[in-house]
Chain A
Amino acid sequence: MRLQLALLSLRRHRSRTLLAALGVAVSGAMLLDMVMLATGMRESFASLLGRNRFTIRVSPRGTLPFDSEATITNAADAATAIARVSTVTTVAPVLGATLHVLDAGEPVTAFALGVDPRVQGDYELLGGRHPTDPNELVASDALLARLSARLGDTLDVAVGFDPQLGTFAGRRRLLIVGRARFLFLSAGDRAAALQLSTVQAMGGVGRRDRVSLFMVRTAPGADVEAAQAAIERAVPRVTALSIAGAVAEAENRLSYFRQLAFILGAVSLIVGFLLVTTMMTVSVNERIGEIAVMRAIGVSRLHVVHQIVLEGVAISLAGAAVGLVLGIGTARYLNSILRSFPGLPDAIDFFLFQPDSALRAIGLLVMSGIAAGIYPAWRAASLPVAATLREEAVG
């Protein structure tokens, strides 16, 4: 009967209850968004790095992958040394370069990745096939669109340009054999993947037997930290970075995002709490005579406390349910805006919906609903019954 009374009491002032629940919904949506933002980037980044189960990135010593133009020399030897580490199962080399497509009236530049198509983890095929021949490439949709090219077309490309002479070096004609989504590039980036040997050969002496990084897979359950250390011992001229290390590095660089999310989340929680407290306090003040009579006829303090707290929780739960939908909708919209920033990997999400995060946000809201009901409930339960009845009779 307590729950029934609580719900009926809320229904008594429908528009006020609705407005309070909507207020909680807005604050809940913001809280959920902030929780999604606080955890989303980290999880999304970790998920991106962990895609295809590559657990370690190996880059030139003292650098982060593609942080600079630096390359690893004697790449073949390095790859062999890394592959000898007992827990390493796959070594995927990657060499980055600027690709100039010369077919169009004006040269079009794109980002080229030299990879081993059999083990690469940089792109996902959307159509066609991998470049199995040295004179083949796969291209991003943005590049194909820019060139008005299709699968089966041949492109005149180069990887070197001398600005003084205005000439291109390392020219080749390459056949487009696939369409691909490049995981570490944004959707609008023009990009192509070629065989590693092709990029090395087109790059001339400066790129011969060099790679920008190795992506390394370790055996399932293997100690990644130990493998990382073993790689650095085997190839002293490299830095090995595990996913955890990369995520920590990214978190360090984006810590202000988390702080902002934490502060805004806390503010929205406090706003929701104050909203419910205010509404419940007003409601209790209006019903002070009824409550005094309930106490007089033998209704326990505990019943009164339960009823008021249940009312607060009911508002919070209703608000949380609406806030969940609102929060997810808002997060998707904000995510689409943020993801359109240039240079961000297509696979990165700022707001990542995770059931755990949603439950955590709803749990926080419900807890704040309980806490919000405590003061008015205490006020209602500690009414001096006789004095209140006397005042009500006079009033």
Chain B
Amino acid sequence: MNASPLVSARDVHRDYALAGAAVHAVRGVSLDVAAGEYLAVVGPSGCGKSTLLNLLGAIDRPTRGTVTIGGTEVSALPDREATRFRLTKIGFVFQRFYLLPVLSARENVELPMAEAGVAQSERRRRAVELLGYVGLAPRADHRPSELSGGEQQRVAIARALANRPSLLLADEPTGELDAQTGGEVIRLFDRLNGDGVTVIVVTHDEQLAAAARRVIHMLDGRVVRDEPLLRRA
């Protein structure tokens, strides 16, 4: 592991109220993720995996503790700066794809670039390039409703890569896919990691977890096991 990790969480807690009761979703997690790592977070439902991912991605703010990404303490950033940080430094992939149904695949990929102020011609070129990378160049002008689940997820991955993030976070990216299309997504993550992108995935999918180079296990908001650097043959 590098001396200076890309992602560093220190004694991170996240509590929130649910139906009047306090939920301690994350309880004192400390974690370092080096640049170029491929980490899978696994554990039973409700163990705090997604909450941890949101904290690592500056979507949520810890109740206690700090999260630092690339030297920036994202847990202390005001909303505006955290939003900008997410836009330019982090790529997100969600279980339900969440593409904008009114935009074509290419336009969905262009959206984060447009938000980042990339010129139209450049973002169009890059969107086509990214769709080619995920194997969907011929489907660039199709709307999400005209794409299969696996294709939609690949478009979502292309969207996540739009602004060349150093970190890709994925929350159950194969959760809504069958085994075959899930396998395609797994291979894509593998390729991305091979191309130098740091990947953190939260998953129940054993195949996906097995593809990662490191797996951490969570239970009741805590990291209970960390299996580092599990390189496959």
Chain B residues numbered 82-127 whose CB sits less than 8 Å from any CB in chain A: 83-88, 90-92, 94-96, 98, 100-103, 107, 110-112, 114-116
Partner of B59, one of A11, A299, A389: A389
- Min CB gap A19→B, angstroms: 19
Residues of A within 8 A of B84 (CB): 298, 300
Residues of A within 8 A of B112 (CB): 297-299
Q: For the complex, what is the distance from the CA of A377 to the CA of B102, rounded to whole Å? A: 19
Residue of B nearest to A302 (CB): B80
Residue from A5, A9, A293, A303 with most neighbouring chain B CB atoms (10 Å): A293
Q: For the complex, what is the distance from the CA of A270 to the CA of B95, rounded to whole Å? A: 42
Residues of A within 8 A of B115 (CB): 298-300, 303
User: B41-69 CB contact bits vs A (8 Å, 1 = yes)?
Assistant: 00000000011001001011000000000
Q: Contact at B60–A385, with CB atoms within 8 Å?
A: yes
Q: Contact at B98–A393, with CB atoms within 8 Å?
A: no
Check B39 for interface membership: any CB of A closer than 8 A. Answer: no
Residue of B nearest to A303 (CB): B115
Q: Contact at B102–A12, with CB atoms within 8 Å?
A: yes
Q: Contact at A1–B83, with CB atoms within 8 Å?
A: no
> A5-B102, A8-B103, A303-B115 in contact; A392/B86 too (CB < 8 A)?
no
Chain A residues numbered 336-392 whose CB sits less than 8 Å from any CB in chain B: 385-387, 389-390, 392
Q: Contact at B103–A5, with CB atoms within 8 Å?
A: yes
Q: Contact at A297–B50, with CB atoms within 8 Å?
A: no
Chain B residues numbered 1-19 whose CB sits less than 8 Å from any CB in chain A: 16
Q: For the complex, what is the distance from the CA of A289 to the CA of B112, rounded to whole Å? A: 17
Check A296 for interface membership: any CB of B closer than 8 A. Answer: yes
Partner of A289, one of B91, B98, B103: B98
Interface residues on B, range: 35 or more
Partner of A1, one of B86, B111, B171: B111
- Min CB gap B127→A, angstroms: 12
Partner of A5, one of B86, B92, B100, B116: B100
Residue of A nearest to B16 (CB): A387
Residues of A within 8 A of B85 (CB): 298
- Min CB gap A311→B, angstroms: 12
Check B79 for interface membership: any CB of A closer than 8 A. Answer: yes
Check A290 for interface membership: any CB of B closer than 8 A. Answer: yes
Check B222 for interface membership: any CB of A closer than 8 A. Answer: no
Residue from A8, A11, A387, A389 with most neighbouring chain B CB atoms (10 Å): A389
> A11-B102, A386-B60, A389-B59 in contact; A296/B51 too (CB < 8 A)?
no
Q: Contact at A293–B60, with CB atoms within 8 Å?
A: no
Q: Contact at A297–B96, with CB atoms within 8 Å?
A: no
Task: Apart from A1-B107, A296-B86, A297-B111, list 7 A-B contacts with CB within 8 A.
Answer: A297-B86, A298-B83, A298-B86, A298-B90, A300-B80, A386-B51, A389-B59
**29 CB-based A-B contacts, threshold 8 Å:** A5-B100, A9-B102, A11-B102, A12-B102, A290-B100, A295-B83, A296-B57, A296-B59, A296-B86, A296-B92, A296-B94, A297-B87, A297-B111, A298-B86, A298-B90, A298-B116, A298-B163, A299-B83, A299-B111, A300-B83, A300-B115, A301-B83, A385-B54, A385-B60, A386-B59, A389-B50, A389-B94, A393-B95, A393-B96
